Chains A and B, each alone.
Chain A
Amino acid sequence: MEFSNKEKGLIASLGVTLLVFGWYFYGSFTNLRLSAEPPGLVEFIILIVLIAVLESIIQVFVSFKNNSQLADERDKLIEKVSYRYSYWVLSACIWFYMGHILLNTWFDHLPNLTTPGGVFHLLLLFFVLAEVTHFLTQLYYYRKGF
């Protein structure tokens, strides 16, 4: 199976996002930090900078091998559609969380995710899910056609 440079860049970005945030969420959710205080700002900034640097390195490496990395009408169309799916996922997650907050006020046995640390991690997870959807949708349309 042959991948274009655009697809390789997307796969690399997806891999970096899943790896870094997967590691972060694994540590966050398994160490029961949901009930703890929100993570430090420095820790969060380091994570975001790490992802930005890794993605930039990958993009430079990919564009070094391909001179024509400018987005044309097909790229813009695929990006627009993928952002639409990404928005749906983000909306669904937010509605799910709002529902959970409501149910939490009615049923006491549900896990409490409304602590400051829990809210922070969940909102971050929703954004990451939306970003992963953005990457996956782009890959799908580049592979299957539009």
Chain B
Amino acid sequence: MSQQTLAEKVGVTRQTIIAIEKDRYSPSLEVAFKISNEFGIPLEAVFNYN
């Protein structure tokens, strides 16, 4: 899945997906859940808290 596709499905811009990937932005719970739902895996498998 491309960054643009994920961004459109989640409802954010591609730049926000890039920022999340590079650990430069912590998304809201809503966006985090949407991303994990898109991948079909639990939230803690996508994100972790350091």
Contact = CB atoms under 8 A, between A and B. Distances in A.
Nearest to B8: A68
Contacts of B19: 74, 145-146
A72 B24 contact: no
Contacts of A74: 12-13, 15-16, 19, 25, 27
A145 B13 contact: no
A139 to B, nearest CB: 13
Interface size class, chain A:
10 to 19
B7 A145 contact: no
A145 B25 contact: yes
A61 B20 CA distance: 27
Contacts of A109: none
Nearest to A146: B25
The secondary-structure label for the interface of chain B is loop
Given A68-B7, A145-B19, A145-B22, A73 B14 contact: no
Nearest to A145: B24
Interface residues of B, number: 18
Interface in B2-16: 4, 7-8, 11-16
Interface in A67-91: 68, 70, 72-75
B28 interface: yes
A144 interface: yes
A74 to B, nearest CB: 5
B41 to A, nearest CB: 22
A73 B24 contact: no
Given A68-B7, A73-B31, A146 B24 contact: yes
A73 B7 contact: no
The 8 closest A-B pairs by CB, nearest first: A145-B24, A72-B12, A74-B16, A4-B15, A72-B13, A68-B13, A146-B25, A72-B16
